[in-house]
Amino acid sequence: MEGRDRSTMHEIRLHNTMSGKVESFVPQKPGQVHMYTCGPTVYDYAHIGNFRTFVFQDVLRRFLKLRGLQLTHVMNLTDVDDRIIANAAAAGVPIREYTEKFVQAFYADCRALSVQSPENWIRATDNIPDMVALIEKLHAKSYTYQSDGSIYYRIAKFKDYGKLSKIDLAGMQTNARVDNDRYEKESARDFALWKAPKPGEHFWETALGPGRPGWHIECSAMAMKFLGETIDIHTGGIDLAFPHHENEIAQSEAATGKKFVRYWLHAEHLLVEGEKMSKSLGNFFTLRDLFAKGYKPSALRFALASVPYRRQLNFTFDGLLQATNSVERLRNFRLRLTAGTFPDGAGDDMQALANSAVERMRGALDDDLNTAQAQAAIFDMVRRANAAFDAG
């Protein structure tokens, strides 16, 4: 965006799940953004619903950088959780060996979809001491209690519990516990920070005793370790808002007494042909499933980015074909520009057309990342420029 001065820049507006409103985005330190994204749990291949979120956060990171902000972005790989422990035990291999295949597959999928690497990829199992230290800090402030060798978070003590997902805890039993990493709002209870090992399960020997971290403490510990106690942006799929992000807030804010995240951004669900994606319905797709059918990564990325992130995205094979054609159209346009011969001199009309396309695209992205309007701005320009080509 050379040649533009800051006075022509509009403010960046982003929807914050915490307030439920679109807000003006102002980083904590001018010009710098610290951002955390909950990465995949590497117990299986990531599916297109996961990649809707990862493409969204990629568009966001590219946009923030385009706007001249210096970005420090961390994405974690959850390489220890209930499902990984169970699958690795069933396969009779150490968890690191079990997850490695899916870690590499995830990296390959990101490369295929042109999802940029964050400044830091981090793995939960590389940061266990930081999780232990955070649990000790919570213990010192009486936010924890023990039961059968596991350590739980006492949510009744954190008066702001539920502020992100607006959950009502009235009538909840004190000291009722939930051991699973993933659960529904109806079973909101004290959750496990540290889990005692069951026979045959992988565990770490630590100051807390033998065991393994719960999923939620992983993200709190790693986000604060790499980005500081208050971070600018935290992203994830909407299904993570409860319980995962609610629990991250409870852990981090109880430990530090500071606001954990300034802007919470969540991507909506993806449907497949109007239905919830599930293995039992036979409409569950990983990237490799689609590429094996001959669909192109560029078309998939285009399709996943075509709907603004806060709207539900209905993925259809018709839509994927349209996306294939759209990408082809852009490629042909580029070819025409680079291979064509044109009369000398700059055309004022074409310059104005390009400027207005850039302006519209930027305005669309400034407006809570309206990718649909940004794409429309490009295709308007392509249509008009093609007409000008045709007219010589």
User: Of the listed pieces 35-43, 132-140, 184-192, 355-363, which binds Zn ion according to CB under 5 A?
Assistant: 35-43
Q: How far is the CB of 250 from Zn ion (least distance, A)?
A: 13
Q: Provide, rounded to whole angstroms, the least separation between the CB of residue 253 and Zn ion.
A: 15
| Least distance CB 38 / Zn ion (angstroms) | 3
Taking the complex as a whole, the smallest distance from the CB of residue 349 to Zn ion amounts, in Å, to 50
Q: Which is nearer to Zn ion, 38 or 238 (CB)?
A: 38
In angstroms, give the least distance from the CB of 42 to Zn ion.
13
- The two structure tokens encoding residue 331: 């490629």
Least distance to Zn ion, CB of residue 219, Å:
3
Range list of H helices, the chain? 48-66, 82-91, 95-112, 128-140, 215-227, 246-256, 287-292, 297-305, 317-339, 348-366, 371-390
The one-character DSSP state at 275 is E
Mark the segment that binds Zn ion (CB under 5 A) among 34-42, 79-87, 98-106, 294-302: 34-42
Least distance in angstroms from the C-beta of 101 to Zn ion:
21
Considering only the stretches 23-31, 38-46, 138-146, 372-380, report the one whose residues sit in contact with Zn ion under the rule CB under 5 A. Answer: 38-46
- Give every CB contact of residue 130 below 8 A, 6+ residues apart in sequence: 221, 222, 225
The residue among 219 and 361 lying less far from Zn ion, judged by its C-beta, is 219
State which residue, 38 or 208, has the beta carbon closest to Zn ion.
Answer: 38
| Window of 7-15, 99-107, 215-223, 314-322 that interacts with Zn ion by CB under 5 A | 215-223
Give the 3-state secondary structure of residue 195: strand
Q: What does the buried/exposed string (b/e) look like for 295-332 if buried means 16 or more CB atoms within 10 Å of the residue's CB?
A: bbbbbbbbbbbbbbbbeebebeeebbeebbebbeebee
Q: Near Zn ion by CB under 5 A, which window of 31-39, 40-48, 87-95, 201-209? A: 31-39
Dist. CA 353–CA 385, nearest whole Å? 8
Q: What are phi and psi of 272, to 5 degrees?
A: -120, 120
User: For residues 268 and 366, which CB has a smaller minimum distance to Zn ion in the complex?
Assistant: 268
Phi, psi of 147 (to 5 degrees): -155, 125
Closest distance of CB 334 from Zn ion, Å: 38
Nearer to Zn ion, 132 or 219 (CB): 219
Give the separation between CA 90 and CA 153, rounded to whole angstroms: 29
Q: Which of 310, 316, 335 is nearest to 389 (CA)?
A: 335
- Give the nearer residue to Zn ion in terms of CB position, either 240 or 304: 240
Distance CA 367, CA 211 (A): 45
Closer to Zn ion at the Cβ: 53 or 150?
A: 53
Q: How far is CA 168 from CA 73, 159, 186, in A?
A: 32, 12, 10
Residue 231, φ and ψ in degrees, nearest 5: -110, 160
Torsion of CA 233, 259, 239, 312, to 10 degrees: -50
End-to-end CA distance of the chain: 28
| Closest distance of CB 238 from Zn ion, Å | 13
Choices 212-220, 255-263, 320-328, 367-375; region in contact with Zn ion by CB under 5 A: 212-220
Residue among 38 and 300 whose Cβ is closer to Zn ion:
38
Among 33, 38, 122, 192, binds Zn ion (CB under 5 A): 38
Which window, 163-171, 192-200, 211-219, 361-369, contacts Zn ion (CB under 5 A)?
A: 211-219
Closest by CA position to 167, among listed 234, 242, 252: 242
Q: Closest approach of Cβ 52 to Zn ion, in Å?
A: 17
Q: With binding defined as CB under 5 A, does residue 265 bind Zn ion?
A: no
Site string for Zn ion, 170-209 (x = CB under 5 A): ----------------------------------------
> Quick one: 132 exposed, middle or buried, by C-beta within 10 A (0-12, 13-18, 19+)?
buried
The count of residues interacting with Zn ion (CB under 5 A) is 2
243 or 308: CB nearest Zn ion: 243
Binding-site member from 219, 233, 320, 381 for Zn ion (CB under 5 A): 219
Contact between 189 and 147 (Cβ < 8 Å): no
Reported as type and span, the H/E element at residue 203 is: none
Enumerate binding residues for Zn ion (CB under 5 A).
38, 219
